[in-house]
Amino acid sequence: MAGRTQREGHLAQVRLPHRALGQSPFGLAATSSAVVLALFVLWLLAGLARLALVGPGRRPATAILVPLGLSLASASLATLLALLLGVPAAWWLARSRWGGRGWVGLLLDLPLVLSPVALGTALLLFLQFPPGSLLERLIGVTFRFPGVVLAQFTVVLALVVRTAAAAFAQASWELERHAITYGAARWFVLTQVTLPASKPGLLAAAVLAFGRALGEFGATVTVAGTIPGRTETLATGVYMALSAGELRLAAQLALVLVLAAALALAAVRYWEKR
């Protein structure tokens, strides 16, 4: 708490006054850029809202309920799997002294920069040969609900690992050392010291992963397709509605995604300020 107060005090000291920002040429340009970009985003949202209300289309608004339910279920499962597997990996990346951990981190970060379609293609190839083919035979993945979960999990895993690793890296090592010095077991240190200290970052990782999974399109449509009632999510539903000329339904689905993203970002900012 004291460290955060000192950092905030330092930032307050170096922050330029509003009048100084507005009077300098660069300040004027920066302010104008921020205002123009904000208005551009508001214009896009207003267009979606107008289209959602009066746009062309014959399907009722209740048509969003099935893809919404499927998206919430798949995003929840994908996020849970990413947390179960990604948080331990993130802790190892933050605490390990092994020289090769940077290369491991690089591999885990690849899904962040890969095209989702390329990632979905890699998943399809993975499912054609062992051990992926065993998974395909056991539960059936391609063009089924498990395929949606697998695609979303693969996309958000890197986000969870990177965010959680940053949270663990910022957690105080001194508290862990003191606990170990006084005889605390490693498991106790992890569950009672490290995880509570990293809680805001871990919550942010969960929320960001859920929001990203909810809006995932490329890998999902490649692996699971977009079968109504079976694999059609909010994101793939937008594409299908546009293809069918159902602009009103597409806008309604898009607004649900916008709302989910806004809530996720608001939650992350709230935890960052705590």
Angle at 268 between CA 36 and CA 50, to 5 degrees: 45
Q: Are 176 and 189 in contact (CB under 8 A)?
A: yes
The whole-chain average pLDDT of the chain stands at: 83
Phi, psi of 31 (to 5 degrees): -65, -45
With b meaning 16 or more CB within 10 Å and e meaning fewer, what string describes 104-114?
Answer: ebeebeebeeb
What CA–CA distance (Å, rounded) separates 268 from 270? 5
Q: pLDDT tens across 228-251, in order?
A: 888 999 999 888 888 888 888 888
- Under the banding of pLDDT at 50, 70 and 90, the label for residue 91 is confident
What CA–CA distance (Å, rounded) separates 157 from 161? 6
What CA–CA distance (Å, rounded) separates 269 from 274? 9
Residue holding tokens 């065993």?
Answer: 134
What CA–CA distance (Å, rounded) separates 130 from 136? 10
User: For residue 204, what are the CA distances in angstroms to 163, 209, 250?
Assistant: 8, 8, 29
- Under the banding of pLDDT at 50, 70 and 90, the label for residue 132 is confident
In the chain, % of residues over pLDDT 90: 27
What CA–CA distance (Å, rounded) separates 264 from 213? 12
**Would you state the pLDDT for residue 3?**
46
Q: pLDDT tens across 1-57, in order?
A: 444 444 444 444 445 555 555 567 777 888 888 889 999 999 988 988 888 888 777
Q: Any idea where the domains of the chain sit in the sequence?
A: 1-54, 61-273
The pLDDT of residue 77 is above 70: yes
Query: 101: part of which helix (H) or strand (E)?
Result: helix 101-113
Q: CA 194 from chain center: how many Å?
A: 23
Check residues 163 and 19 and name the one with the higher pLDDT. Answer: 163
At 29, list the tokens.
């340009």
- DSSP 8-state code for residue 131: T
The pLDDT of residue 86 is above 90: yes
What CA–CA distance (Å, rounded) separates 208 from 151? 16
Q: Are 218 and 117 in contact (CB under 8 A)?
A: yes
- Under the banding of pLDDT at 50, 70 and 90, the label for residue 76 is very high
**Would you state the pLDDT for residue 274?**
66
**Would you state the pLDDT for residue 82?**
95
Rg, the chain, Cα only: 22
The pLDDT of residue 79 is above 90: yes
**Would you state the pLDDT for residue 12?**
45
Answer whether 0.85 is exceeded by the pTM. no
- Under the banding of pLDDT at 50, 70 and 90, the label for residue 186 is confident
* Section 173-201 average pLDDT: 73
In the chain, % of residues over pLDDT 70: 85
* Section 143-165 average pLDDT: 93
The pLDDT of residue 85 is above 60: yes
DSSP secondary structure string, 56-87? S--S-GGGGHHHHHHHHHHHHHHHHHHHHHHH
**Would you state the pLDDT for residue 52?**
82
- Under the banding of pLDDT at 50, 70 and 90, the label for residue 182 is low
Please determine, looking at this structure, whether the domain spanning 61-273 carries the CATH number 1.20.1090.10. Answer: no
**Would you state the pLDDT for residue 147?**
93
